[in-house]
Structure 1
Amino acid sequence: MATIKKVKFVKSAVNPKDYPPPHFLEIAIVGRSNVGKSSLINAIFNRNIAKVSSSPGKTRLINFFLLNDNIYFVDLPGYGYAAVSKAERQKWKRMIETYFQTRENLSLVIMLVDSRHEPTKLDIMMKEWLESLGIPYVVVATKADKLNQSEKAKAKKIIRRTLGLSDDFPVFLTSSKEKTGIKELMGYVLDFVKEK
């Protein structure tokens, strides 16, 4: 497994013209706005590089990070946050849609769901959307520190059933707080990209 030796924030963007040049393979991370995306990014990088907020819906731009000088890691705006205006939610949706449809170096999407709850209709839509666009993805369940061992096994089953995933489809249970599952997730992700 490749290790993360170096990471730097590159830039924030809204439109394709603002994206960094597509020189490297890209991994994007997407999920509902309260799923713990920023915390997971910080746990993956082992440093506080993504802003964590107590109020969800703070990521309003597409944020690009560069890993080991050869892989882009992209933090997409969270979806489904009800406390912002409908117009704002539509803007985020368009931003994510445009990114998925135009970013030719996108290799893999890390799709986050909350391990404590059944995936929502929006999560199911996101999964179906990625499949319809032919974008490879992996499912990551966050906040697993809130579950005991039997609840963890049950959570994986519920996620697979609700999202219609086969038994061999990769689903990772992670905890940003306890750093569990992070090494396994990144081992899979970096190996996947290496084979591209």
Structure 2
Amino acid sequence: MFDTRPDRSDEVVLVGRSNVGKSTLMREITGHSVATGQKPGVTRKPNHYDWASDDFVVTDLPGFGFMSGVEDDVRERIKTDVVRYLEDNADDIMVGVLVLDGKAAVDIIDRHTSDDEIPHVVELFYLLQDLDIQPVVAVNKMDKVDDRDERLNDVADRLGLHPPWKQWQDTIAPIAAKHGRTSAFDDAVRTHLDAEKRDDLKKFF
């Protein structure tokens, strides 16, 4: 299911837990209708959108974590496949977008943090860095968050980025994708496209 990638030299990928709004953000980026739903796990295989340029593709990778009616071994296989996809295509991926649920992310990270466990979202953030893929953390559903700066500082802290979060605006982007409020995300991605000298792609963000 993960070997469907178009032959494109430059890529932006979206990764994250199920039901955090990856597909909604994809719809904002591409303008194309993307399957979304209330039930976690709607996206089970990569969705590739190569509408923009002969050498550019945006990919929505399947979410991981709880999925209604999905066996544990299937969930684990999806996580493994996501990691393998990033490793196999790292040289072509310009930006890795880690989408978080701004309301729930800190609690989920804390719940899965122990002496012998690193939460998968934190592992993914470190993996992007290790693979030399520029990470952008799109902290979604911020319209549901009251203590905005405090919550974003906590997100930065959990990812090993020293607060305050505002010094990491090329990495941490508060958004509300469902309401079309994604300007912080667009700005962060454009920063990395600038560094790659890909001004031609900035019009898509």
Shared fold, TM over 0.5? yes
Question: 104-113 vs 79-88, which deviates more?
Answer: 79-88
- Structure 1 match to 2:103: 116
- Residue 67 of structure 1, CA deviation: 4.8
For residues 124 and 31 of structure 1, what CA distance do their matches in structure 2 show? 10
Aligned partner letter, 2:133: I
- Structure 2 match to 1:27: 12
Contact 2:136 2:188 in 1 (8 A): no
Structure 1: any 5+ residue segments left out of the alignment?
1-12
Secondary structure at the aligned position of 1:29 is classed as strand
Secondary structure at the aligned position of 2:49 is classed as strand
Which has the larger share of helix? 2
RCO comparison, higher one (Cα < 8 Å, 6+): 1
Q: Within the alignment, does 1:171 sit opposite 2:158 as a pair?
A: no
Between the two proteins, what is the percent identity of the paired residues? Answer: 23
Q: Within the alignment, does 1:162 sit opposite 2:158 as a pair?
A: yes
| C-alpha spacing 1:188/1:128, structure 2 compared with 1 (3 Å) | closer
- Residue 43 of structure 1, CA deviation: 2.4
Contact 1:65 1:72 in 2 (8 A): yes
Q: TM-score, normalised by structure 1?
A: 0.81
For residues 32 and 85 of structure 2, what CA distance do their matches in structure 1 show? 25
Secondary structure at the aligned position of 2:177 is classed as coil
Aligned partner letter, 2:46: I
Cα RMSD (Å): 1.9
Question: 108-117 vs 63-72, which deviates more?
Answer: 63-72
For residues 144 and 100 of structure 2, what CA distance do their matches in structure 1 show? 14
Contact 1:64 1:73 in 2 (8 A): yes
For residues 195 and 180 of structure 2, what CA distance do their matches in structure 1 show? 26
Secondary structure at the aligned position of 2:83 is classed as helix
Contact 2:175 2:184 in 1 (8 A): no
Q: Within the alignment, does 1:87 sit opposite 2:73 as a pair?
A: yes
Which structure 1 residue ranges, 4+ long, deviate > 4 Å from structure 2?
none
- Residue 153 of structure 1, CA deviation: 0.9
Secondary structure at the aligned position of 2:179 is classed as coil
- Structure 2 match to 1:40: 25
| C-alpha spacing 1:20/1:44, structure 2 compared with 1 (3 Å) | closer
Map 1:29-68 onto structure 2 (within 5 A). Answer: 29-45=14-30, 47-68=31-52
For residues 147 and 52 of structure 1, what CA distance do their matches in structure 2 show? 22
Equivalenced residues, count? 177
Secondary structure at the aligned position of 1:145 is classed as helix
| C-alpha spacing 1:144/1:91, structure 2 compared with 1 (3 Å) | same
